[in-house]
Structure 1
Amino acid sequence: MVQPKYHVFICTSCRINGQQKGYCFQQGSTSLVQAFMQEIEDRDLSGEVVLNNTGCFGICEKGPVVVVYPEGVWYKNVAQEDVGRIFDEHFEGGKPVKDLMI
């Protein structure tokens, strides 16, 4: 069993019926998932960073929302441009990105 260092959850506004509609989806969260996946691959972190898309976290006005465990860090308004910083500062540097935190 894989024991990742970080488990990342990204809201893609996925509904129980499989449809994706909602604020985070409208703000490009599916592209954000792709950006995280690419960064994991580029940095060879597939065993350390595990990624899941989720349904709504209930704080749509702060979306796209990204949650990182085990610390329980919640990031708001995450854009593709922020992904590199999250990897640099949080995953590889060990310190959450303060200005993105909720």
Structure 2
Amino acid sequence: MTKPLRHVFVCSQQRPPNHPRGSCAAAGASPLLQAFWAELQKRQAYEQIAITYSGCLGPCDGGPNVLVYPEGVLYRGVTPADVAEVFDRHLEGGEVVERLRADAALW
């Protein structure tokens, strides 16, 4: 496998129900992760993009959170409906999807 151009981390942190910090798992991380993997497969972008599930990325209350490297961009509240846009604009196009980007005070 070659080194990917971009690496996507999808927070899949799971906490007990009603935990004060919330959790990305409870906010829909599993379907989101599945959508990223499906889009990766659809585009056959295995050599350019890596998708990995992760533990907590920090600001749990606005999840699911998605972190993209090498830019270090944190997206919040991402849904499966956003995945194609993230691929088109950021992962393949190099343009940050500002409407999903975490506030600078958080990240």
CA RMSD of aligned residues (A): 1.2
- Cα distance in 2 for partners of 1:11, 1:75 equals 11
**Letter paired with 2:81:** E
The 4+ residue runs of structure 1 with deviation greater than 4 A are none
The aligned counterpart of 1:46 is: 46
SS in 2 for 1:25: coil
Question: Structure 1, unaligned stretches of length 5 or more?
Answer: 14-19
Q: Does 1:99 align with 2:99?
A: yes
Matches within 5 A, 1:1-102: 1-13=1-13, 20-21=14-15, 23-102=23-102
- Cα distance in 1 for partners of 2:38, 2:12 equals 17
TM-score (norm 2): 0.84
| Percentage of pairs with the same residue | 43
Question: Structure 2, unaligned stretches of length 5 or more?
Answer: 16-21, 103-107
- Shift of the alpha carbon at 1:76? 0.5
